[in-house]
Structure 1
Amino acid sequence: MNRLPINLTAIALLFTSSLSAAEAPGRIDTKATSLYPNQARNAVSLSFDDARVSQADVGLPLLARYQVKATFYLLPVFAKERLPQWQAALKSGHEIGNHTMNHLCTGNFQWLRDKDAGLEQADLAFIAKDLDQSQAFFEKELGITPKHFAYPCGQTFVGRGKEVKSYVPLIAERFITGRTWNDETANLPGYTDFAQLRTLPIDNKSFAEIKAMLEAQRETNKWLILAGHNIGSEGTFTTRTEALEQLIQYLQDPANGYWLAPVGQVAAHLQAGENAATAAASSQ
């Protein structure tokens, strides 16, 4: 049987149960009650894929200036180029996630056609082996076993036609969260699938464009995961440094009502609320 969505009212009640009588609202309205620290209206997570060199050389120093922690989904082939920086990033509190060993996407991409490769030609055994190899890399080089995953190209299938299979169950078995890419919506607590977290792209956008995207998803309590690749001045797959700085300043201003935290931290916070709500409901 499929797990039913958790009742948002129950979650809101549990998250606000620690408030004093004077602080607690007279009536819980899930459209008005925050599930997040400091009564933030939304949670936001910054994430970056592939372990691009610019993330280590440009992004990490920028984030350090603002004391912001992000989630980086690393590809071993690129992570090797800046291992000392990634080791330092991990020690400083950044979150390191798995992005597979081979970064396999649909074979409709020419760069994969040139290799005669693609998800259409793969099977679940291939994905499982790839995950084992990538996890082994992280255990050896960084001393960690990543608990968070990002699907390459945001694609979650293997095979074609009637033989298509989802590899989401593999991710759900091995990781706490799985993150997609280039979606049209954010994540609604109590309903979102932690193995398929929705993500909004921030590459090649001005701060004004990113802010407009955030505002379009401003439903109370939604969790907005933002994803980029390179970090620099411009480019199709580049998060602009100026826009990123402006975004961080905007998100850090309490008046704007955001809680900025890595993917794993927000997921743990929401999952704790769901578990408490489930336990409370079962005891009634």
Structure 2
Amino acid sequence: MKNKFLYIAILAASLSYAQNAARHWNGKRCAVVLTYDDALNIHLDKVIPTLDSFHFKGTFYLVGSSRVVSERIPEWRAAAKNGHELGNHSLNHPCDATLPGRDWVNRENDLSRYTVARAVNEVRINNSLLKAIDGKGQRTFAYPCGDFTIHDTLYYNALRNDFVGARGGTSGFPQAKEVNLDDINAFVEDGTTAAQMIAQVEEAEKAGSFIVFLFHGVGGEHPMNVDAGEHRKLLEYLKKREKDIWVATMVDVAKYIREQQK
């Protein structure tokens, strides 16, 4: 009888250890980061109220020169005060016009015509603007168009100390200790259904990893768009899985990863 009780105790302890060992994302099985690019009206009008209704916080990558920023500063400030991250998406959103499919990039915002100094200065100017809005000294960066280099030079090298991390645009499910904080993996969502996004979350969980969703339009206002109803279904799923899934801003997850890599 004693052996039987000892076996049960050992089995229970083993199961408890296995469950706890799998919960290495702030005590949960995986992390999810909801990011939204380009400072769109719909982010303020629809996305933030929807996130707030679920008590989730998102990361909004703002382009400093956008009128949606300059004309709606009080609303962005209120969003930041409520826990959402205002991330840096540069001052003018420069993209490399020499790459395929970049006919829409105008000459003034062609990253291939920038100097490294100009790119760095514009990002830092945008940081000053964002700090004036939210008063915060820590945030993350997102590469416009996912472009890293100016004539083979990684311009973020000069900005590494200005940010907690930088979100890229390459998908993947790395372990926390393997994450490159200069190029944090992200999944670009365009026309994606809730079922597809939920499957991505489940893959991240299975891998013991995390997932960063990269949204633009949610219900319109951008050529890269996800239906608002599908976006809401994803949030409903995440709410139901709150015990197992940590939904947080990019800056908070990047800080957590940084701690794990020490």
What is the deviation of 1:29?
A: 7.2
Q: Deviations over 1:121-175 (max 9, x none)?
A: 222111111122212222333333452111101111112xxxx211231232211
In the other structure, the counterpart of 1:132 is: 124
In the other structure, the counterpart of 2:103 is: 110
Q: Relative to structure 1, is the Cα distance of residues 234 and 117 closer, same or farther in structure 2, using a 3 angstrom cutoff?
A: closer
Q: Relative to structure 1, is the Cα distance of residues 218 and 110 closer, same or farther in structure 2, using a 3 angstrom cutoff?
A: same
Counterparts of 2:242 and 2:218 in 1: how far apart (Å)? 27
Counterparts of 2:168 and 2:249 in 1: how far apart (Å)? 15
Counterparts of 1:255 and 1:22 in 2: how far apart (Å)? 27
Q: Is the 8 A contact 1:32 1:220 kept in 2?
A: no
* 1:69-218 correspondence to structure 2 within 5 Å: 69-76=57-64, 77=66, 78-108=68-98, 109-112=102-105, 114-115=106-107, 117-159=109-151, 164-181=152-169, 183-218=170-205
In the other structure, the counterpart of 2:48 is: 60
Q: Greater CA deviation, 185-194 or 89-98?
A: 185-194
Q: Is the 8 A contact 2:191 2:224 kept in 1?
A: yes
Q: Relative to structure 1, is the Cα distance of residues 142 and 217 closer, same or farther in structure 2, using a 3 angstrom cutoff?
A: closer
Q: Relative to structure 1, is the Cα distance of residues 134 and 116 closer, same or farther in structure 2, using a 3 angstrom cutoff?
A: closer
In the other structure, the counterpart of 1:11 is: none
Aligned residues: 248
Counterparts of 2:63 and 2:233 in 1: how far apart (Å)? 28
Code of the aligned partner of 2:82: S
Q: Greater CA deviation, 114-123 or 49-58?
A: 114-123
Counterparts of 1:172 and 1:30 in 2: how far apart (Å)? 36
Code of the aligned partner of 2:165: T
In the other structure, the counterpart of 2:34 is: 46
Q: Relative to structure 1, is the Cα distance of residues 122 and 29 closer, same or farther in structure 2, using a 3 angstrom cutoff?
A: farther
What is the deviation of 1:271?
A: 2.1
What is the deviation of 1:59?
A: 0.6
**What secondary structure is seen at the aligned counterpart in 1 of 2:37?**
strand
Unpaired runs of 5+ residues, structure 1, are 1-20, 276-284
Q: Relative to structure 1, is the Cα distance of residues 217 and 141 closer, same or farther in structure 2, using a 3 angstrom cutoff?
A: closer
In the other structure, the counterpart of 1:230 is: 217
Counterparts of 1:250 and 1:117 in 2: how far apart (Å)? 39
* 1:20-39 correspondence to structure 2 within 5 Å: 25=14, 33-38=22-27
What is the deviation of 1:239?
A: 2.7
What is the deviation of 1:229?
A: 1.0
* 1:6-17 correspondence to structure 2 within 5 Å: none
Counterparts of 2:241 and 2:198 in 1: how far apart (Å)? 15
Q: Relative to structure 1, is the Cα distance of residues 23 and 65 closer, same or farther in structure 2, using a 3 angstrom cutoff?
A: farther
Q: What percentage of residue pairs aligned between the two structures are identical?
A: 24
In the other structure, the counterpart of 2:3 is: none
What TM-score, normalized by structure 1, do the two folds share?
Answer: 0.78
Counterparts of 1:75 and 1:152 in 2: how far apart (Å)? 9
Q: Is the 8 A contact 1:46 1:227 kept in 2?
A: yes
What is the deviation of 1:30?
A: 11
CA RMSD, Structure 1 to Structure 2 (Å): 2.8
Q: Is the 8 A contact 1:149 1:171 kept in 2?
A: no
Q: Is the 8 A contact 1:232 1:241 kept in 2?
A: yes
What TM-score, normalized by structure 2, do the two folds share?
Answer: 0.84
What is the deviation of 1:216?
A: 4.0
Q: Deviations over 1:256-278 (max 9, x none)?
A: 83211111222222322332xxx
Q: Relative to structure 1, is the Cα distance of residues 54 and 26 closer, same or farther in structure 2, using a 3 angstrom cutoff?
A: closer
Counterparts of 1:157 and 1:24 in 2: how far apart (Å)? 51
